[in-house]
Amino acid sequence: MNEETEKYCFEVGDGICVWNIQTNEFSYSPQLKKLLGYNESEFPNTFEEWKQIVHPESIKTIEKNLDNYFSGKTSNYIDEVKFLCKDGSYKYILIKGKVINFTEDGKPLRIVGIHSDISIQKQREEELKNSIELLGHQNQKLLNFAYIVSHNLRSHSSNLEMLINLLDFTEDKDEKLELLDHFRSVSNQLNETITNLNEIVSIQNNINREKEHIKLKKAIEQTIEKLQDEIFRYNINVEVEVPEYLEVIFNPTYMDNILISFLSNSIRYRSLERKTNILFKSYFKNDQIILEITDNGKGVNLKKNGSKIFGMYKTFHTNSSARGMGLFIAKNQIEAMGGKIEVESEVNIGTTFRVYLT
């Protein structure tokens, strides 16, 4: 390259640098300095100084790629380097370099590097990666949901099929009538499962379900009223430590279901060895309203069952009336309202559900 061409190259297009490998001198086109926000005097003048404005992540790949080029493994030096700009931000620069002339004894003398700003592409790439990750995550969630739906439906449909199979072997009239009763029960279970699955789908589709101002204490008292029969029958003591005035902005249907799920869960898993106490308590933490429901019931080993506690499958206790879906639906409803739920539990001590009502 003659001097005139070189000069021309220096003034147009992308940033260009020339590195004299033997003297370690660096020279740059004005565009390159401008690209990174530096002025003439600030820009480093040796390879070592140049490395100081390169992000540490990039240093290793630069050394590796230069090595590959000089040893003949690659025909060009190509690199994506993260540069520190004067304003403290970073830019991604694509560098394409090639040795343009050699010393008399054949050593590389000068290498020219063309620098293109690919920050925008890099940013898009990053956004794309995040989107793919998010979509992958959502796909996985949907797939899991599909497996759960399939499992829950199949367990009923296979019961129906087996009952029909059994009917073929049955001659006795009374026995046939007994089977009919079982058909009815399995059919009811199937219906209930479908209702629950529909509920979950509608929760997940209606992120912006209508919210209202709800007086929390009143809502809790209405829930207690609904379960009054069981509370009385098992002689359970329920206390509410929630201020009269406290209001939350929440979907009222969800609130009803959440409160009833937690209260009936505490009643269902009461300890048979002591009088049951259940406490509803609210407090503020970082401007968030938190509702705790604490019981002194059977408790759950969270190490063993922690991942399953809000799962859609069955339950943890050998209790025939237990249906696993209640807490799963409640959790979905809390999350659909922008809240979250935590649980603490110890076997034979009790359980605390902590609901962040936002």
Partner 1 sequence: MNKINTIWIVDDDQFYVFVLKKLISKNSLCNEILSFTNGEEAITHLGEVINSQENFPDLIILDINMPLMDGWEFLEEYINIKHLIEKDIPIYMVSSSINPIDIEKARTYPQISDYILKPIKMDDLKRIMD
- Of 350, 141, 200, the C-alpha closest to 262 is 350
d(CA 343, CA 4): 74
How far apart CA 179 and CA 161 sit, in angstroms, is 12
Q: Kindly state the DSSP code that residue 43 receives in the 8-state scheme.
A: S
By the 8 A CB rule, do 60 and 42 touch? Answer: no
Cα 265 from Cα 316, distance rounded (Å): 12
Residue placing its CB nearer to partner 1 in the complex, 300 or 357: 300
| Cα–Cα distance measured from residue 195 to residue 206, given in angstroms and rounded to the nearest whole number | 16
Nearer to partner 1, 325 or 337 (CB): 325
Instruction: Decide whether 21 or 343 has the Cβ nearer to partner 1.
Output: 343
In the block, tokens 């490998």 appear at: 21
**Which one, 61 or 155, has the nearer CB to partner 1?**
155
Cβ–Cβ < 8 Å for 252, 212: yes
Q: Is 106 helix (H, G, I), strand (E, B) or coil?
A: coil
Give the start-end residues of each E strand in 216-311.
Answer: 237-241, 247-250, 277-285, 288-295
Which are the contacts of 307, defined by CB distance < 8 A and separation ≥ 6? none
Q: How far is the CB of 148 from partner 1 (least distance, A)?
A: 9
Min dist. Cβ of residue 308 to partner 1 (A):
8
User: DSSP assignment, residue 347?
Assistant: T
Please tell me the distance from the alpha carbon of residue 277 to that of residue 249, in angstroms, as a whole number: 28
Residue numbers at the binding site for partner 1 (CB under 8 A) = 147, 150-152, 154-155, 157-159, 161-163, 165-166, 169-170, 182, 185-186, 189, 304, 313-318, 320, 322
Residue 102 identity: F
CB of 153 to partner 1, least distance (A): 8
> How near is the Cβ of 213 to partner 1 at its closest, in Å?
39
Q: How far is the CB of 123 from partner 1 (least distance, A)?
A: 36
Question: Cβ closer to partner 1: 66 or 153?
Answer: 153
Q: Which is nearer to partner 1, 234 or 313 (CB)?
A: 313
In angstroms, give the least distance from the CB of 325 to partner 1.
Answer: 13
Nearer to partner 1, 173 or 285 (CB): 173
- CA atoms of 184 and 236, how far apart (whole Å): 34
Least separation in angstroms between CB 151 and partner 1: 5
